[in-house]
Structure 1
């Protein structure tokens, strides 16, 4: 199998893998199993599958659609989807490189341009996934109400059901949900990555930053920027933000809203992985309670 054959017959990739006709090199990829596949013509592709049994229904279709939607904007580099099957997703290989300030500046500008291409509504026309969990993309017209109902409440409930949060945490998050309109930040829907923590920015040998593993939808552009600061922050974060704001200035109070946008991803983590991520939920809620909006 070479690249020409793969493009013409993407459905045949699992058969070639089963019969060991393709060289596989395991690589790290979050909740999925992933490999670098080397084809007969020497080209490489990145492939991912669920580690045990069938993948959750629609997971790879949602990721493929998100990658394609982001790529269509022609701004931040996004890998081309080559194979999208129920239990296998394959895309072009991006050779890893080192993060540089020049790449960070370009990334900041291009991310602003991506967001500016917009979306028809908050949410999307298709169901989504974020990590191993379903993502409710039911469209909405008002960001605050939509974010509370589709991005905070579902993962708060799952987190409570699995015992990942204490009663005080739940009360604090519920208060934020009930008063979310006081935070302001109303904007038209942007075309966002939706799960843009630093691990989903791939710094490439071509000197650019690529977007991978999206939970893409129409959302608030501040969400992508806020999550870039999680888990130690993306390299050269200050440069990214400065270039972004030069390309498309942010509304007043955006720094105060960072914990609000991060709260979604913290709740996803307590829902998916348990109480080890409780401090993130607690710290975000505490930060919001002490800001001028409280």
Structure 2
């Protein structure tokens, strides 16, 4: 539980008395708490790692970037900082419900609207951030293939090699990756991406409003978000049908989905170990094996 001193600090941030604090389950990276006041509930993430404050600041910036598009909701941020060695991110508490078909239709429409937001002309973002606890570089490029290879695949491949999760022989050359990516990737404009859009990173509020949480934002090919939604499930056919009403899903999207999922599987390999090796190995051979 949070210390009395920490609770007092959060009370000052909220500028109102706290009635009680309850721990919440489900957080893999940070401890999570529901903070009750007389009239409201708030959600607070707490973490004492060396990188936690930077992680929370970039998460806050990502949520604010999504909010700026006025397309899909995010929790309101109430505070972000550090106290007594613990970093925290304080935001409104979203009461979730199980989504119905209409909710998923709304979600699909709103995600397409976010992907249609014109925010910058290059791929990448104004700052680096994190995917899980791993650093995610967002240097800007005008060429999508170059960005995806050098800012997404290569850092994770090198990390996996250094941790002996992949051998040097399994890592394709830059020339091979450039050839394959240029062949598979369509001409695309930079879309604002959530960046880590699996089923645990969205909520449907009790009024039916979709919310995005825990983003790893940058500007890239919109199909990256769609590929992540297909990796672990949790998104209905109504979601995809609604999305494609506004952004028609390209004919060859299914041929690219694996190469975009490769990034996320490499992240999981580096975070959680060898259980993800078979999937990574299969995709490396499928896309980059010598022909």
* TM band (smaller chain): 0.7 to 0.9
**Structure 1: distance between partners of 2:178 and 2:23:** 42
Q: Give the one of 59, 65, 71 matched to 2:61.
A: 65
**Structure 1: distance between partners of 2:286 and 2:101:** 30
In structure 2, the residue matched to 1:129 is 130
Name the SS for the 2:203 alignment partner. Answer: strand
- Segments of 5+ residues of structure 2 without an aligned counterpart are 1-7
Superposition deviation, residue 89 in structure 1: 0.5
Is the alpha carbon distance of 1:62 and 1:240 closer, same or farther for their aligned partners in structure 2, counting shifts above 3 Å?
same
- Pairs within 5 Å for 1:1-294: 12-13=9-10, 21=18, 23-27=20-24, 28-39=26-37, 41-50=38-47, 52-56=48-52, 58-86=54-82, 87-120=87-120, 121-166=122-167, 169-171=170-172, 175-176=176-177, 179-231=180-232, 233-236=233-236, 238-288=237-287
**Structure 1: distance between partners of 2:11 and 2:144:** 41
Is the alpha carbon distance of 1:167 and 1:54 closer, same or farther for their aligned partners in structure 2, counting shifts above 3 Å?
closer
**Structure 2: distance between partners of 1:107 and 1:140:** 29
TM-score calculated relative to the size of structure 2: 0.86
| Alignment check: 8 A CA contact 1:25 1:35 kept | yes
Is the alpha carbon distance of 1:100 and 1:172 closer, same or farther for their aligned partners in structure 2, counting shifts above 3 Å?
farther
Between stretches 161-170 and 121-130, larger displacement belongs to 161-170
| Alignment check: 8 A CA contact 1:16 1:22 kept | no
Name the SS for the 2:28 alignment partner. Answer: coil
Deviations 1:21-78 (A, max 9, x none): 5522222222111111112x2311111122x444445111100000010011111221
| Alignment check: 8 A CA contact 2:180 2:288 kept | no
**Structure 1: distance between partners of 2:286 and 2:29:** 29
Is the alpha carbon distance of 1:24 and 1:168 closer, same or farther for their aligned partners in structure 2, counting shifts above 3 Å?
farther
Superposition deviation, residue 125 in structure 1: 0.9
Between stretches 27-36 and 219-228, larger displacement belongs to 27-36
Between stretches 167-176 and 108-117, larger displacement belongs to 167-176
In structure 1, the residue matched to 2:4 is none
In structure 2, the residue matched to 1:3 is none
Between stretches 256-265 and 27-36, larger displacement belongs to 27-36
| Alignment check: 8 A CA contact 2:11 2:18 kept | no
- Segments of 5+ residues of structure 1 without an aligned counterpart are 1-10
| CA RMSD across the alignment | 2.5
Name the SS for the 1:229 alignment partner. Answer: helix
Between stretches 260-269 and 62-71, larger displacement belongs to 260-269
Superposition deviation, residue 165 in structure 1: 2.5
**Structure 2: distance between partners of 1:261 and 1:201:** 20
